[in-house]
Structure 1
């Protein structure tokens, strides 16, 4: 071997090599020829390793790389939803490399490999390894097996499959054996199930017809050569030499299967044309006259990589890895009795990678004629996450996502929590916006409550006018005189505080509604307590302790008591708002699908409520103590009932606070306040208005004097 300092001027006898037809040989020749940058175009070597240009810089091929075949098989599995498969490959470079590439691709997807095995080479159907391999297939219980093997290794394997009576499975075959006669001629193979294979895209039918015509001519030439040889003699030997110069391999070629010949010869045909186009471009033959200069291999290699032409409607060009840009046909075996045939049911195209299957051409060899399934676990229902049960991610149980979570399809193994303003029912695939709930102005319940509040305020205004017109009458004086207007005004303020419960809570509404209600209602209760105490002093305590009533009047007791009681309540409310102010709050915990807008309860507000209740109890005690007073001054019955109703409404509201939230809580508070106001108006003011309007004879000084005299006689 002559060593040269550079290969730029290297002039070999052959500037390009076409072949060989096996992967093992191509790996050797490509490594050697790559050193000298001699173009080598293989028509059968498909292993993906040959695409590595740093190792095989001058290698090209007219058969697609196994990388594309692996993609086609993967897309086929995805198309039919097969996620539980077995991978088998021949124990050679072709099988091992194909299995590695396929296993790597499946591992990154949702397809699981139940078992991966190797088919031993140079064996027969009696090999115990093959029988053990087939036994494993039945144990793992899969319906789809991918066999990435050459035809020599695949034949004994399928012989064992037939012997062990494995039926109804789907076999996905690699390009090497999918249409191999040695496989489909295995006795009884039509019982194994459905066979789907990969084949290189078929050339145009015109090309196949030309090849068949050529083959027939060659067969005639071989027969002629044979008959001449039988005549014997030197002339016969000379004639045979002429024949073999025409075609030295006619006999073996005509004995090969038709389909294999057609496809393989077209790959060779494409390789020859690729070299021819490269030379054509290198020598500048497009101008009409080819250059006579020296052709160096590295120059031709550059031109071959750039070729782009059409050969019988088949585009011939190479990518950066030296691989031809060609896809695969997806074929399915069909049987009519013992007659075998194959039909193209789909195609795999490259750049971009896409698979298309014609469902009308698919004929499943199953009991029901339907597409078989091959999954480890059935798919979960929408909103159910996968709970993995083994190392295979395809084997799982299904668990519904709990309330407030959803299943994102990008991660089927975990449920994701919804946002703060979102919710999801159990077993959901999406979150929904929560309904924002508050006691709005526009809903029917609000209109009913507002109508009652307005009617109460109109009643208070009417009572105030009536009492003002009859201010000098005994009934109005016995009710408190001018103090009645303060009491009605405080009740009106109490009623007006209810309007802050409607609409979306604001900071101002939350700050005002509790203090306004508590202080106004305290004024009313203080007036009631003062009035009850005064009447009690006049009729019961004045005799026993006259100085007490005189001091009460002389020291402005009623005014001081009302002012002091109101001031205490005001201070309690101020302290409550200062320590923990009531602000708008979004309550997310009440109901999963709703957001309750309400005012945050103040921890110190309980003191103001307790003071109101204490004052109410005091009023009740004073009114109850005057049950035997004269009829004109006896408010015990009506006022006691009113205060009992008030305490009952207050207790109901306090008890409902833990059970009701949002709109219901606000409505309950408004309804309780309306019940209290209605009871107090009905128990204290309405009976007097009844007397003024309908019993005027009882609204006289004489009637009240008679009542006092009757009370005095009883005592």
Structure 2
């Protein structure tokens, strides 16, 4: 411990005149309080708010800095530490054989003063030490403090080298959690990382995504701002602006910040700073009449500097987080029992002067002039100040827990059983031979419960359990403001119970007392997605409707979701609906018309059959083999009826039957026409002298056999097609994304092409033969009607191929039905209309004589 003092200022130096003594090279003039004990605990507190340093001059010895601006709250925290030590000394169950003392110094809210005080605690303040005094217990066992993050960083950087434990009650910089840089630092207040997380939970709860940030230009503000930027991005919010409060209260810089606040669209501003930094800013807020929703960090959320009527119109409704409130039984009586006397330290005397506006000697002359002399017997309970108010203990409660953490750690160290210790060889640490790092071992594992019921322990980084109260600044009936507790953030609770807020107790700074809204862009409703605006934060976006077939069913969706294959987006694009299934239905107008035409064709064929049956013995019917005529009429009727298979919802049996029935029916019809044409030619040749034997090849049996063979070929084609690649019902989504076209997939294009090609081949042969026989004498003139019918048939089916290929969905079926009906009507009308005309309207011409003499050969 003495070695460490040689590296610090003040520095211990061996005197040449008295080699047995160690002498301080310099002794600082520090303000503090002291109490003797077997073990001393050091403390650093903010008792004075301001410090003035003398001008530097190395021609004379530099003077000590002068502290002023007495802070009663800071002194109360220091007195809480003194109370905790006295309470421990009176507790028979905690350190029963050991008395604790304290050395408490004022840091004057200045790093230079705080560092001087810390070195005095670590190295001791005795001017001279005997050689034997350079061994034994260190001057202090540990340090409670400092309250300021910057001070704690500087002091811990040095104290950590020698593993001197330091437990802060108010330093929150997250950087102090770095165990490699600050191995001996602990704290009873959560770090900025937890504080920022608590503020983010408030923003997230109220859905404030467009937030301004103002922070102080120190370690506390910078590290907290860094954490805030990271956490708000993870939550999905954005920082509208980020401004640094100047250290020197530069009014020009303050007004620049006010200009940014006024021009920003953000209605919520997070301020991470100590209260002293904010005073000039709030003066400008009042001067420029700026109203915003403020989110206060723990450093100023309960500060009395701002809970004044002048700031009420501008700060009412402020939300803030604060240190966990605690209760310390007996503290108030202890604070009121403090009495100054001639031996009292200067701090107690200053309390008296602050509370009662009086003076002690040697300022008696001034006191008499002012009409007030301090007697030291004034009643503190009658002084109207925050000094004796213990109803809202926060930093004081943390300091109380810090003292007890050191005391419990020392108690555990002294309770070690030899041979069962935690150190090398299962050894224990002895009080007088103890090393600082040994106490840190026990401090790291300490665990106890305060009288208020809070559990105190430290994690591997020296952090305590993170518990924050949430405050809301309310207007009171007397016109003042008060920070009232409205919720809690407790990291020790299970997930889902960490954040609790009583919203019915909240007050807002608006005429209607309504929750303010702060977003860069309004939320995108379901059915739209967010599209970020170029060059702006992610919170600034446009809402674009989802594309067809895509939906978003949540607010502020990043991407639209594609509907499943058989579903489509609703008109609002917020849910998927089943796609409309399209097929040629019997209920729609087109289906009704085609069905009617098909049935009409079938009926017309039946009527012609009936006419031919009734007049089956007449020459017109018997001419050119009446059996073939009936076969053609029957096949035409089947052709008309097979068109119905193309109407209605596709099913497996209809898909398989429709093309097979259509193909076989038309082959039966066309092959009968082909045979009929060949018979006409054979009869004509038989009427010539050299063609007497032509008819023997075209008897009734040969005609039936030819038709049967030609039709059987088509049957074989259909069987092969259906057995290898059968047509099946298919829900097609390629024609139109918003609909499902229910159609029959042909299965094998080659099979379908072969079926049509075979029909076309027979039709082409029939047309060619009929065309060659068109100029036969009138007696055999049926060939020209066949020529005309086959011309219609071929024209229809030649036009069908490109029309079918280019028609989507159900319209392909319509094209095929139209081709079937058109070609069937063409055959029926062209071949049988002239015969029915003679049979029904001119029966006198339905004679053999008339038929034989109708014309002369050409």
TM-score range for the pair, normalised by the shorter chain length: 0.7 to 0.9
Q: Which secondary structure state, in structure 1, belongs to the residue aligned with residue 228 of structure 2? A: helix
Normalised TM-score (structure 1):
0.75
* Alignment equivalent of 2:538, drawn from 384, 388, 393: 393
1:318 aligns with 2:458: yes
Normalised TM-score (structure 2):
0.64
* Alignment equivalent of 2:737, drawn from 574, 588, 592: 592
The residue that corresponds to 1:357 in the other structure is 501
CA 1:60/1:254 → structure 2, altered by over 3 Å: closer, same or farther? Answer: farther
1:178 Cα deviation (Å)? 0.9
CA 1:187/1:712 → structure 2, altered by over 3 Å: closer, same or farther? Answer: closer
Q: Which secondary structure state, in structure 1, belongs to the residue aligned with residue 270 of structure 2? A: strand
1:78 Cα deviation (Å)? 1.5
1:307 Cα deviation (Å)? 3.3
The answer to whether the Cα contact below 8 Å between 1:18 and 1:40 also exists between their aligned partners in 2 is yes
* Alignment equivalent of 2:319, drawn from 186, 193, 196: 196
* Alignment equivalent of 1:298, drawn from 425, 430, 437: 437
CA 1:285/1:616 → structure 2, altered by over 3 Å: closer, same or farther? Answer: same
The answer to whether the Cα contact below 8 Å between 1:16 and 1:40 also exists between their aligned partners in 2 is yes
Separation in 1, partners of 2:502, 2:772:
96
Q: Which secondary structure state, in structure 2, belongs to the residue aligned with residue 136 of structure 1? A: helix
The answer to whether the Cα contact below 8 Å between 1:146 and 1:173 also exists between their aligned partners in 2 is yes
Separation in 1, partners of 2:659, 2:429:
108
The residue that corresponds to 1:111 in the other structure is 237
The answer to whether the Cα contact below 8 Å between 1:45 and 1:63 also exists between their aligned partners in 2 is yes
Q: When you count helix as a share of all residues, which structure comes out higher?
A: 1
RMSD of the alignment, in Å? Answer: 5.7
CA 1:173/1:523 → structure 2, altered by over 3 Å: closer, same or farther? Answer: same
Relative contact order (C-alpha < 8 Å, sep 6+): which is higher? 1
Separation in 2, partners of 1:213, 1:643:
123
1:482 Cα deviation (Å)? 3.3
1:165 aligns with 2:289: yes
The answer to whether the Cα contact below 8 Å between 1:21 and 1:43 also exists between their aligned partners in 2 is yes
The residue that corresponds to 1:135 in the other structure is 259
The answer to whether the Cα contact below 8 Å between 2:173 and 2:191 also exists between their aligned partners in 1 is yes
1:293-335 Cα offsets, whole Å, 9 max, x none, are 5255434333333333332132322222221113212211122
1:501-556 Cα offsets, whole Å, 9 max, x none, are 577577x9878854763454144124235536756987xx779x836975753554
1:158 Cα deviation (Å)? 1.1
The answer to whether the Cα contact below 8 Å between 2:663 and 2:759 also exists between their aligned partners in 1 is yes
The answer to whether the Cα contact below 8 Å between 1:103 and 1:113 also exists between their aligned partners in 2 is yes
The answer to whether the Cα contact below 8 Å between 1:348 and 1:356 also exists between their aligned partners in 2 is yes
The residue that corresponds to 2:227 in the other structure is 101
The answer to whether the Cα contact below 8 Å between 1:530 and 1:561 also exists between their aligned partners in 2 is no
CA 1:208/1:642 → structure 2, altered by over 3 Å: closer, same or farther? Answer: farther
CA 1:712/1:132 → structure 2, altered by over 3 Å: closer, same or farther? Answer: closer
The answer to whether the Cα contact below 8 Å between 1:533 and 1:622 also exists between their aligned partners in 2 is no
Separation in 2, partners of 1:281, 1:157:
49
1:378 Cα deviation (Å)? 1.7
Q: Which secondary structure state, in structure 2, belongs to the residue aligned with residue 187 of structure 1? A: helix
The answer to whether the Cα contact below 8 Å between 1:38 and 1:58 also exists between their aligned partners in 2 is yes
CA 1:523/1:325 → structure 2, altered by over 3 Å: closer, same or farther? Answer: same
The residue that corresponds to 2:408 in the other structure is 277
Structure 2: runs of 5+ lacking an equivalent: 5-134, 342-347, 364-372, 418-427
1:99 Cα deviation (Å)? 0.6
CA 1:414/1:296 → structure 2, altered by over 3 Å: closer, same or farther? Answer: same
1:51 aligns with 2:177: yes
The answer to whether the Cα contact below 8 Å between 1:623 and 1:636 also exists between their aligned partners in 2 is yes
Q: Which secondary structure state, in structure 2, belongs to the residue aligned with residue 183 of structure 1? A: coil
Separation in 2, partners of 1:439, 1:643:
29
How many matched pairs? Answer: 677
The answer to whether the Cα contact below 8 Å between 1:166 and 1:192 also exists between their aligned partners in 2 is no
1:23 Cα deviation (Å)? 1.3
Separation in 1, partners of 2:772, 2:725:
35
1:78 aligns with 2:204: yes
CA 1:467/1:703 → structure 2, altered by over 3 Å: closer, same or farther? Answer: closer
Which residues in structure 2 correspond to 1:210-289 (within 5 Å)?
A: 210-218=330-338, 258=389, 262-284=393-415
CA 1:582/1:261 → structure 2, altered by over 3 Å: closer, same or farther? Answer: closer
The residue that corresponds to 1:236 in the other structure is none
Separation in 1, partners of 2:499, 2:775:
97
1:89-114 Cα offsets, whole Å, 9 max, x none, are 01111111111110122233421112
1:616 Cα deviation (Å)? 8.3
CA 1:71/1:229 → structure 2, altered by over 3 Å: closer, same or farther? Answer: closer
1:674 Cα deviation (Å)? 5.7
Separation in 2, partners of 1:333, 1:530:
106
The residue that corresponds to 1:179 in the other structure is 302
1:364-407 Cα offsets, whole Å, 9 max, x none, are 11234322221112222323233322231122222222223445
Which residues in structure 2 correspond to 1:148-547 (within 5 Å)?
A: 148-167=272-291, 169-185=292-308, 187-192=310-315, 194-203=317-326, 207=327, 210-218=330-338, 258=389, 262-284=393-415, 293-294=430-431, 296-311=435-450, 312-336=452-476, 338-351=479-492, 352=494, 354-389=498-533, 390-407=535-552, 412-415=557-560, 423-424=568-569, 428=573, 434=579, 477-478=622-623, 480-484=625-629, 486-487=631-632, 490-491=635-636, 514=659, 517-518=662-663, 520-528=665-673, 530-531=675-676, 546=688
CA 1:109/1:711 → structure 2, altered by over 3 Å: closer, same or farther? Answer: same
Separation in 1, partners of 2:430, 2:340:
41
The answer to whether the Cα contact below 8 Å between 1:438 and 1:663 also exists between their aligned partners in 2 is yes
Q: Which secondary structure state, in structure 2, belongs to the residue aligned with residue 147 of structure 1? A: strand
CA 1:339/1:642 → structure 2, altered by over 3 Å: closer, same or farther? Answer: farther
Separation in 2, partners of 1:437, 1:219:
97
CA 1:401/1:292 → structure 2, altered by over 3 Å: closer, same or farther? Answer: closer
1:470-508 Cα offsets, whole Å, 9 max, x none, are 9777565336233346536655775786687577577x9
1:88 Cα deviation (Å)? 0.9
Structure 1: runs of 5+ lacking an equivalent: 234-239
The answer to whether the Cα contact below 8 Å between 2:523 and 2:555 also exists between their aligned partners in 1 is no
Separation in 2, partners of 1:653, 1:547:
45
Q: Which secondary structure state, in structure 1, belongs to the residue aligned with residue 400 of structure 2? A: helix
CA 1:362/1:488 → structure 2, altered by over 3 Å: closer, same or farther? Answer: same
CA 1:426/1:442 → structure 2, altered by over 3 Å: closer, same or farther? Answer: closer
